Amino acid sequence: PPLKPVEALASARPVVFSDLPALQETIRENTEGLSFKAGDQDRLAVAIASLAENPMRRQQMGQAGRERIMAERTWAATAVRTTAVYERLKVS
Predicted confidence (pLDDT) per residue in 5-60, tens digit: 999 999 999 999 999 999 999 999 999 999 999 999 999 999 999 999 999 999 99
Q: Can you list the pairs that 8-11 forms with residues at least 24 positions away whose Cβ atoms lie under 8 Å?
A: 8/65, 9/33, 9/65, 9/66, 9/68, 9/69, 10/65, 10/66, 10/69, 10/70, 10/73, 11/62, 11/66
Tens-place pLDDT, residues 76-88: 999 999 999 999 9
**Model pLDDT, residue 1:** 66
Is the pLDDT higher at 12 or at 90? 12
**Model pLDDT, residue 91:** 65
